[in-house]
Amino acid sequence: MAAYESVSRSKISIIGKESYLDLKKAQLPPLTLPESEDDYDPQKHRNPSRAIGKWMAYFNMSRTMLGAGMLAIPLATSQAGLALGTFLNVATLLIIIKAHWTLLWCLNEISRQLRIPYISYRYGFRIALLHGPSWLHCIARKGSLLISILMLMSQLGICTVYVIFTVGCVRDVLDIESYNIAMAIIILPFLLLGYFMNTLRIVSYTSMLATALTFIGISIVLFQTVYYMKDHVKFKWASTNAIPIFFAIGSYLFNLSATGVILYLDRALRNPKILTTRTGVVAVGMGVPGLFSIIFGGFGYISLGAMDENILRSLPFDRAESMVAISFYCLAITLAYPLQAYPATQIVIEIIVERYDTRPDEKYLKLVEKLIRGIFIFITFLVAYVVPFQGSFVAFVGCLCTSILCLVFPALMHLSLLYPDQYGTYKHQLATDVFIIMIGLVCFLCGAVMCAYLLYIRILFMINSENKYM
């Protein structure tokens, strides 16, 4: 789930009086006390309404990384090769863990300097870049809007993947050849879920059920990949083609992206410090599921060879357990869709609210929210209709949004906060940030272009195939 903070002002206490700090205009002081000399710790001043413990945090991380993105890992491994794919998956996992640590440190440091308990990603990004080199100030002025747009695009992409995945499951279970008929079957259930699951509490409960179904489904799939392993499957160790390599990297980025969950846990944990320790929630909560996905991808590729879209579509359909696994995953993804769509509606609502000097009437906002929710669902179905290819679209979303939100922006925030002379010995902090920025930009540019080209080729193939049989 991508977290989105709908608060534009934080109330703080100054000399015993309540005062408002407008984060849309706030900047860091030019000279600040070092952390060792400042007695203000933002994490000790947070008071989450529904605090969660360490084990619930691990659960949230696990369910994020074992969803629909996991099923595309064997396909990504088959594209890059067993050895190269495994290496790229491990490297992506380590870089994203480092990037999440960096993002949390930046938000905590900005909160410490402003002496507020917490600051959101979008306002923290703006404030951090205004503190950095002058050439970043033009980006900073539109920073909060830029974060909002990228988050909205990311959620749109994730929900579109969910629709494509569900349509594929319905076709396989009901033995329907037409993609359009399967899409027509599921659009009404998705609209009903979007209408009735209109609060975060309801969405969270259904998400717990979806998580249980996901664990059952992934267990059945893993059993089948081991039990029905084929001796005659030939697999490659590495690919020499750039398109499959960036296709694989985009899939890994999509599966490992957990920025929204990290931001949510940072606000909701009783002890947020356990997020960034070496054995904390980010390292272990991402590392263990990440290693599991590597094993899952390797076994899936060795067992089933090159596959189409996701591993479920490569299972033997004549086996009852295959149909059970597909049905469980179909239901799980359907129930998880409102959880992914919820932040998108909140993003649009907050953008609308910020255009008014005073907050509009709640009844008006509720009506607008229902309208936005319906429009968002129709847009995801429209995109799924135009681009009905799950594997390619997963890689496209990973390269387009995840590389910027998870890699480039946190590194830009970090080098800005350390500007101009706090980069450490031989400026190793600056070198690390520049390295991560370059990786993110290469993934964004090359991956997005190559994945878009791949989608273009597949759409042309689909059109030509339809015209051939007309």
Mean pLDDT (whole number) for 94-112: 91
Residue written as tokens 């910020």? 354
Where in the chain are the domains? Answer: 49-421+439-468
Residue 413 confidence (pLDDT): 94
Residue written as tokens 């030939």? 234
pLDDT at 37 over 60: no
Residue 414 confidence (pLDDT): 93
Of the chain, the percentage scoring pLDDT greater than 90 comes to 10
Mean pLDDT (whole number) for 12-38: 60
Mean pLDDT (whole number) for 136-147: 87
Residue 200 confidence (pLDDT): 60
**249: its two tokens:** 């990297």
pLDDT tens readout for residues 277-317: 888 888 888 888 888 888 888 888 887 776 667 787 777 77
Average the pLDDT over each of 8-22, 47-61, 306-320 and give the range with the smallest value.
8-22
pLDDT tens readout for residues 393-417: 788 888 888 889 899 999 999 999 9
- Of 149 and 464, the structure prediction assigns the larger pLDDT to 149
Q: Which pTM value belongs to this model?
A: 0.84
pLDDT tens readout for residues 183-204: 888 888 888 887 777 666 676 6
Mean pLDDT (whole number) for 336-355: 79
49-421+439-468: what CATH class? mainly alpha
Average the pLDDT over each of 129-138, 150-159, 194-203 and give the range with the smallest value.
194-203
pLDDT at 7 over 50: no
**For the chain, what is the HEC assignment?**
CCCCCCCCEEEEEECCEEEEEECCCCCCCCCCCCHHHCCCCHHHCCCCCCCECHHHHHHHHHHHHCCHHHHHHHHHHHHHCHHHHHHHHHHHHHHHHHHHHHHHHHHHHHHHHHCCCCCCHHHHHHHHHHCCCHHHHHHHHCHHHHHHHHHHHHHHHHHHHHHHHHHHHHHHHHCCCCHHHHHHHHHHHHHHHHHHCCCHHHHHHHHHHHHHHHHHHHHHHHHHHHHCCCCCCCCCCCCCCHHHHHHHHHHHHHHHCCHHHHHHHHHHECCHHHHCCCCCHHHHHHHHHHHHHHHHHHHHHHHHCCCCCCHHHHCCCCCHHHHHHHHHHHHHHHHHHHHHHHHHHHHHHHHHHCCCCCCCCHHHHHHHHHHHHHHHHHHHHHHHHHCCCHHHHHHHHHHHHHHHHHHHHHHHHHHHHCCCCCCCHHHHHHHHHHHHHHHHHHHHHHHHHHHHHHHHHHHHHHHHHHHHCC
Quote the crossing angle between the two packed helices 409-417 and 121-130, to the nearest 10°. Answer: 40
pLDDT at 45 over 70: yes
Of the chain, the percentage scoring pLDDT greater than 70 comes to 87
pLDDT interval class at 2 (50, 70, 90): very low
Residue 8 confidence (pLDDT): 46
Query: What is the chain's mean pLDDT, rounded?
Result: 80
pLDDT at 3 over 60: no
| C-alpha to C-alpha distances, 58 to 54, 275, 277, 406, nearest whole angstrom | 6, 10, 14, 19
Residue 74 confidence (pLDDT): 85
pLDDT at 149 over 60: yes
pLDDT tens readout for residues 427-464: 889 999 999 999 999 888 887 787 777 777 777 776 76
pLDDT tens readout for residues 208-251: 787 788 888 888 888 877 776 655 556 677 777 777 787 788 88
Average the pLDDT over each of 70-79, 99-108, 228-237, 399-408 and give the range with the smallest value.
228-237
